[in-house]
């Protein structure tokens, strides 16, 4: 378990974890990590490709990005973004769409060029869904792949909108939402009846292709999902467990979401021996 600012996994004894006392501190550490890469690429005259998530979890991370832009002159001019998912049936300007969410919390508040924003179009006609998903994959490839993927996790372990039982090799696709997710997310829509029942989402295979993944999970509601993702079997029943396969994924927690981990003492024990191990790395 890491508590320092460097979130980079050093040795894969377990899914690398960083547990923070508070979600705000955690969000600032994640923003600092990503900002470091944005600035390094600026110095090299290169772009950075970010995979972005929605939901309540990354809101303070985006707020910190906005603060860094306003107060510390962090520019996003060299950033390309791909969002993870979108509700089926909602166009990017629908008030409840993830497209609007991104504009409200980030895109309209920074200097990210419009042409570098990529969103799945939830309103694409039925006959064009497959082609749209394939094109999204193609655009990610053409941009050079995702450097940094930001993720949240659903209470049932979903990442993006990859609900339990979806293939761990899936690419961008149309998914039916689970009853749990409909219940969890319906408050935003006022009622279950008004909530879309499907979504377009990057697949788990698409997510695992990112060079670096930071998954944020805060609060007691995420305890079971975190426990299964980190310590449970690698299984389609918990899509987040696919991160166990990734060589550079870090799970960012607060003390509430980390409370269900059974091997916390063991992780601390491992980390306390990090210095001894460095000579073998």
> Could you list the active site residues?
85, 156, 158, 163
Nearest approach in angstroms of CB 267 to ligand GLP is 23
| Distance (Å, whole) CA 111 – CA 164 | 37
**Residue closer to ligand GLP (CB basis): 56 or 165:** 56
Nearest approach in angstroms of CB 22 to ligand GLP is 16
Nearest approach in angstroms of CB 219 to ligand GLP is 8
Nearest approach in angstroms of CB 255 to ligand GLP is 17
**Residue closer to ligand GLP (CB basis): 74 or 122:** 122
The alpha helices in 45-162, defined as continuous H runs, are: 59-71, 98-105, 129-142
Integer angstrom CA distances of residue 73 from 59, 68, 82, 110: 20, 6, 23, 10
| Distance (Å, whole) CA 222 – CA 155 | 5
Residues lying near ligand GLP in the complex (CB under 6 A): 53-57, 84-85, 152-154, 160-161, 181, 185
**Residue closer to ligand GLP (CB basis): 175 or 212:** 175
Nearest approach in angstroms of CB 120 to ligand GLP is 11
DSSP output for 190-234 = SSSTTS-SEEEE--HHHHHTSSEEEEEE-SGGGHHHHHHHHHS-S
| Distance (Å, whole) CA 219 – CA 153 | 11
Q: Which residues pair with 151 in a beta bridge?
A: 215
Half-sphere exposure of 87 (CA within 13 A, CB side): 25
**Residue closer to ligand GLP (CB basis): 122 or 160:** 160
Number of C-beta neighbours around residue 130 at 10 A: 13
Q: Radius of gyration of the chain from Cα atoms?
A: 18
**Residue closer to ligand GLP (CB basis): 74 or 199:** 199
């Amino acid at each position: 378990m890491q508590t320092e600012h460097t979130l980079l996994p050093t040795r894969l004894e377990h899914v690398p974890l960083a547990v923070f006392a508070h979600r705000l501190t955690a969000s600032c550490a994640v923003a600092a990590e990503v900002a470091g890469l944005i600035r390094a690429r600026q110095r090299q005259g290169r772009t950075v490709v970010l995979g972005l998530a929605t939901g309540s979890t990354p809101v303070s991370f985006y707020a910190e990005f906005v603060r860094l832009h306003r107060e510390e002159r962090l520019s996003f001019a060299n950033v390309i973004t791909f969002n993870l998912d979108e509700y089926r049936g909602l166009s990017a300007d629908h008030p409840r769409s993830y497209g609007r969410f991104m504009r409200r919390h980030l895109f309209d508040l920074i200097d990210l060029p419009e042409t570098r924003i990529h969103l799945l179009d939830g309103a694409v006609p039925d006959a064009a869904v497959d082609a749209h998903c394939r094109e999204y994959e193609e655009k990610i490839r053409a941009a050079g792949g995702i450097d940094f993927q930001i993720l949240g996790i659903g209470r049932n372990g979903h990442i993006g909108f990859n609900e339990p039982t979806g293939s761990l090799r899936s690419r961008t696709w149309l998914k039916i939402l689970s009853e749990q997710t409909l219940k969890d997310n319906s408050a935003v829509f006022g009622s279950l009846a008004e909530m879309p029942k499907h979504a377009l989402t990057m697949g788990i295979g698409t997510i695992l292709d990112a060079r670096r993944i930071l998954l944020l999970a805060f609060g007691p509601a995420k305890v079971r999902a975190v426990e299964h993702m980190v310590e449970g079997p690698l299984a389609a029943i918990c899509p987040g467990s696919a991160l166990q396969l990734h060589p550079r994924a870090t799970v960012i927690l607060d003390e509430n979401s980390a409370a269900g981990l059974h091997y916390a003492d063991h992780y601390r024990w491992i980390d306390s021996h990090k210095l001894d191990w460095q000579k073998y790395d």
